[in-house]
Chains A and B, each alone.
Chain A
C-alpha cells in the first residue's frame, strides 16, 4: 500500500461541528437544560485528611433540598478509570466516604430547585470532623506507619494492605546493567523534577443526569469515555446497562482529565436518583482544580555510552506523587519506562517506579501521559552525553533512536509492536535546516544581558494502545456505517472529538472509501444505547484506532453496496469502482474501463430498498494490531534576559510525522496547542499546596495559576510547522496520530534552548525566572547544572532503600 491521490484526505474543510461552535449552538454538558431540573452543589472538605464524626443535613432538607452523604450512596470500592484490564486496576474510590483525603474532596452533595437554594442548603450542612495527620509530600507520606491515607485497597477481589502510603510499585530489568555500565566511557546521571500541572480545560467538568421512569438514567457528562462511564454507573448503582444511557456531548476541553469518569458524574447520578428529577452540576473552578492534575514525577536517570556514541546501560528510579486516589498509577509506572526505552535503543536497563499517596488532588493523565515528564530527562541526558562525547546532538540522536523495524513499547512493557513508518531522520534534517542549526553558537560565545539560544528535542506518542497481542490496556472501537436512500452516509461511533478533528477525520476516511462527497457524510449523534463499545478517545488513538475502525466498517458497507450495484449494472463486483461526482453532488458506482456504465449511489440505495434487498449498512468492532509512534521534533529559539531571568520564545520549528495527514490545518492547530501547553509546563505552570492547611496556594484561582497568554508565543511567521512524508502501512489510509506527540518533547526543547543561551542545564520544571537568575549566579562559581533543591534527608536513593525493607 502506498499514498495515492485523495479527494478529501490532506485537504482542509471547515470542521463539521464548526458552525455550531462559532454560533453558540454547540451543546456542552453545562448547557444541557431539562424540565424540572435541579441544581446540584458539591460539599468539599476543608481539611487535607479527616474523618466525619457526624454530619447533619436536616437544615438543608428543611429548605427543600435533597442531600446525599456517604450513607446514601452504594458502599462499593471501584476505580474511576476502566481503560486497563481489571487485573491492573487498583480500586480505592468510593462515591462518597466518611473519610476525606485532601482539601476539596467531595463528602456530600445537595440539589435544589434553584442554584441559590442549593448554595444556601449546602452552607447549612453541619459537620464535625476528626482531624487526622496529613501528608503533603512524599517524604512525610512514606514515613507514616499509621493514619495512612488508605489502609487498604482492592485489586479485583483481593484486599491489599497499604504500607507507608505506597500505592504501587513496578520494576523492570533487561540485560545486565552492571556489566553495561562497565563498558561505558561516559556516564551522565541527574535527578529530574516535573510539575503538578493543572489541565485547566475551559469548561469545569460538568454533568447532567435524568432519572428515567424505567428505573434507568440518562447522563450528559463531561467525559472522553462514554462506554466506560456507562459501565461504571451500571455497576455502582446496580442498573442493567440497557437502562444506562450516556450521551455524547462536546466537552469544553479535556487533555486527559476525562479519560476517567470524574466523580462529579457519579455524585450527579446519586443525587438525581434520590431527587427523582434531573440534576445538573457545574463545579466551580476551585472545585475543579481539586479534582485532577498531571502526574508530577521525580526521577533519577543514569545513562552510559561508549566513545562511538553507542548507549550501553541505563537506570531510572522514579517517584510519583499521585495524590489522594489511584487513577492509573500502576499503568503510569509502566509507561514511564516505556517512553524512555522506546526513545533510544539500549539493551541493558533497570527501572523501578514507586507511586505514593499524598493528601492532594489525584493525579491523572494529561496530554502525553508521562511522556513529557520522561522525554524531558531523556532528551536532556542525550544532549549531555553528546556534549561529553563531542558529538553533535542530531548525529547522536540519529545513531541511537528506536526506528524502523525495531520493537517498541511506549505504552508499557505489555504493549509491544514493530515500527513500520519512521520519519525521524526527515524531521531532524529538515527542522535543523529551517532553524539554522549549523549556525548555532555554543553558550560560551554568548555575551550581554539578552542571550539567544537554540535548542532541540524529539519524541513521540503512540497512536493508541493496540498491539498484535492484547496487553494490560483495552483498545478497540466499534462503528457503524449506513448508506442512506439519497446516497448520503451516516457514521455512528462513540468516539469523541476533543477539538482536534477526530470525527472530521473519520468522515473523510468514509467519504474517501465510499467515493461520496465529504459533505454527504454525517457524523450521527451518539450515545451508549446506539453505539458499541469504544475504550476511550485517549492515547492519541482517535484517528488511527477510531479512524481505522470506521474505515474497516465503511469497506464492509461498501461491499454490500457494490453487491447491490452489480445486480443493477449487470457487472461483477470486482469490476466496480466508486467515486464522487461533484457536479451531481453524489457518489457514483461505475464499471472500471466502461465509465459510461455508471449509477449514482442514491439510485443503488433506492433500488435496493424498493426491491427489498435491504440497506447497505455494517457495524463491527475493530482492534488495531499496532500503536505506531507518531514522531515529533521541536527546534526552539529563546531569548533569556540574564538580569531578570525572563525567557522569551522567539522561534519554533515543529516537525511532525503523523503518517498521511488527514486534516492539515487542524493538525497544525494541534501542534500549536501542544507547544503552548508544553511551553507552559516548561516555564511556569505548577500547583503548590500549603503544608499546614493542605490548601492550594492559588486558592483555586486561575489568576494565580499562571499560563502563557497570546503575547507569549511567537507570531505565526516565527512558528513553522511541517509534516514528514511518510505512510503508515497499518494505519487507515496511511495515517497515524498526532495529539500528544505535539507536546511530549516541548519542555525538553525549551530547556535545551535555555541551556544554549545560558550554558546551564535545568533539571527541574518549570524553569522559573528566579531559578535562572540564581543559576547564573552559581555558574559564575562554576556549576553548570542547576539541580532541583535537594533535601539531604530525602533522596530518591533513601526512599528506595526504605522500600527494600518490605
Chain B
C-alpha cells in the first residue's frame, strides 16, 4: 500500500510520519509515539477509552485514520499537565476519588477538558452530555461528575 507523509502536532511537538492509508490514529499514538495513555477498549467507537483532542475537539482515535488527522493538533492525556503541574481536572479526579481502575480516566478527562475549554461553567446536564460517549464501568459516574464540577470551579476561579 502506498504510504504517505503526514505532519502531526502531538502535545505541542511536531512529528513527521510515514503512514499507511489504513493506519489508525490510535495505533500511531500508541505504537509509534509510545503514548500508551490513549486506551484501547473496543476498537469500534463504542467506549470512549481512546478519546483524544483534535484541535480541541474530542475524537475517537480508534475511528480516525492517521491520514485524516494530518495537519491537526492532537492532545493526549500525556499532554495536559503543564510544567510538571497536573491539570485541574487531573487533580480533581484524584481528590474526588473519581479514579478506580483508571482505564476510562484518560478519555474521560479529555472529554471533560474539551467541554471546560469551551464552557468553563457547564451545567450538570452539559457535563453528562459531554461524557456520554465515555463508558466507566467502575465508578457509577458520581465521583466523576463531582470531579468535573470541582475542576470547573477551580478553573473559573483562576480565570477571574
Contact = CB atoms under 8 A, between A and B. Distances in A.
B103 A24 contact: no
Q: Is the interface of A mostly helix, strand, loop or mixed?
A: loop
A676 B101 contact: no
A711 B103 contact: no
A672 B139 contact: yes
Interface in A711-735: 711, 713, 715-716, 719
Q: Is the interface of B mostly helix, strand, loop or mixed?
A: loop
B95 A702 contact: no
A445 B78 CA distance: 56
B132 A710 contact: yes
Contact of A285 (B35, B46, B106, B142): B46
Interface in B111-160: 124, 127-128, 131-132, 135-146
Interface stretch (A28-36, A53-61, A213-221, A296-304): A28-36
A716 B96 CA distance: 12
Given A202-B41, A702-B47, A21 B99 contact: yes
B119 to A, nearest CB: 17
Contacts of A115: 27
Contact of B34 (A33, A203, A252, A284): A33
Interface string A660-685: 00000110110011111100000000
A782 interface: no
Contacts of A255: 137
Interface stretch (B53-61, B64-72, B86-94): B86-94
A711 B128 contact: yes
Contacts of A17: 102
Interface residues of B, number: 56
B5 interface: no
A727 B99 CA distance: 28
A202 B47 contact: yes
Interface in B26-77: 27, 30-31, 34-44, 46-47, 49, 76-77
Contacts of A28: 39, 103
B100 A669 contact: yes
B78 A24 contact: yes
Contact of B97 (A252, A665, A676): A665
Contacts of B47: 202, 285, 702
Contacts of A673: 100, 138-140
Interface centre among B37, B40, B135, B139 (most CB of A within 10 A): B40
Nearest to A711: B128
Given A30-B40, A33-B31, A204-B41, A669 B97 contact: yes
Interface in A743-792: none
A33 B33 CA distance: 12
Interface in A487-512: 498-500
Nearest to A18: B94
Interface in A595-629: none
A618 to B, nearest CB: 31
Interface string A245-280: 000001111110000000000000000000000000
Given A255-B137, A669-B100, A716 B142 contact: yes
8 contacts: A12-B97, A19-B94, A22-B77, A204-B40, A282-B40, A284-B43, A672-B143, A709-B141
Interface of B: 22, 27, 30-31, 34-44, 46-47, 49, 76-78, 81, 86, 90, 93-106, 109, 124, 127-128, 131-132, 135-146
Given A666-B97, A675-B140, 4 more contacts: A33-B34, A202-B135, A498-B101, A669-B143
Interface of A: 12, 14-15, 17-28, 30-31, 33, 115-116, 199-204, 250-255, 282, 284-285, 498-500, 665-666, 668-669, 672-677, 701-703, 707, 709-711, 713, 715-716, 719
